[in-house]
């Protein structure tokens, strides 16, 4: 599929996505958009983890903001280190800004020195509660693992946002000290436990006091504004 311009519900600040890793994601999140899109039926995202030979010849160009691994989990525990090293090495050949996001942020520690210049690393924290909707580490573990990482450009994705405890979630994010937080809702009707609009508004206003908040369009149905 090569380098793809972003569209739909993707981060609006990201210009392109690139998915060099093939194979089945073992996090198996119940709300995964891959399950409800044509991508989920592609052979590329089935079977054992591997590099896509075709993707590893993609011209990534320059001056872009590229979300690497938007359709899978590059830093999953099941992914061999040498595959991650090859992907990062390929990215370093092209002067872009890269986003690497993982629900297994502890794995970032192994590769911090190999990240391309100006890389942004992120993790997903849908809530501070554990709703058992994924085989990924629970949110509390993601928070602790991400907090321990020393990197100048960290972001947090609260998507799909689920009901939460305001003070605890705010404390987590403030301690992580991200350069921005992106907030989005469940856009695939997965019947998740969602917060009420008043709580969402309070979260956004509170986060805005110490970091930039990027609100996605699909959050409008959960907002009062």
pLDDT digits (tens, 9 = 90+) for 98-122: 999 999 999 999 999 999 999 999 9
What pLDDT, on a 0 to 100 scale, did the predictor assign at position 23? 95
Fold of 4-222: TIM Barrel (3.20.20)
| Residue 42 pLDDT greater than 90, yes or no | no
Phi and psi at residue 220, to the nearest 5°? -55, -35
Helix (H, G, I), strand (E, B) or coil at 22: strand
Phi and psi at residue 99, to the nearest 5°? -105, 125
What pLDDT, on a 0 to 100 scale, did the predictor assign at position 224? 56
| Residue 140 pLDDT greater than 60, yes or no | yes
**pTM of structure:** 0.94
Q: How far apart are CA 135 and CA 11, in angstroms?
A: 24
Q: How far apart are CA 101 and CA 92, in angstroms?
A: 17
The residue assigned the tokens 């909707």 is 133
pLDDT digits (tens, 9 = 90+) for 116-134: 999 999 999 999 999 999 9
């Amino acid at each position: 599929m090569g380098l793809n311009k972003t569209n739909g519900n993707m981060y609006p600040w990201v210009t392109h996505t690139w998915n060099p890793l093939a194979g089945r994601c073992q996090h198996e999140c119940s709300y995964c958009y891959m399950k409800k899109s044509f991508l989920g039926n592609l052979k590329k995202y089935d079977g054992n983890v591997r590099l896509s030979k075709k993707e590893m010849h993609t011209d990534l160009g320059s001056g872009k903001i590229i979300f690497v691994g938007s359709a899978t989990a590059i830093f999953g525990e099941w992914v061999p280190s040498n595959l991650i090293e090859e992907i990062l090495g390929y990215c370093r050949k092209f002067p872009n800004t890269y986003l690497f996001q993982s629900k297994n942020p502890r794995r970032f520690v192994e590769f911090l020195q190999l990240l391309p210049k100006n890389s942004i690393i992120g993790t997903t924290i849908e809530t501070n509660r554990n709703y058992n909707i994924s085989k990924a580490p629970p949110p509390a573990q993601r928070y602790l693992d991400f907090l321990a990482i020393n990197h100048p450009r960290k972001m947090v994705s609260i998507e799909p946002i689920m009901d939460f405890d305001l003070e605890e979630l705010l404390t987590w994010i403030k301690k992580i000290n991200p350069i921005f937080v992106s907030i989005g809702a469940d856009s695939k009707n997965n019947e998740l436990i969602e917060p009420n609009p008043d709580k969402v508004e309070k979260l956004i206003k509170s986060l805005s006091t110490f970091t930039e908040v990027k609100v996605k369009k699909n959050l409008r149905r959960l907002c009062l504004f």
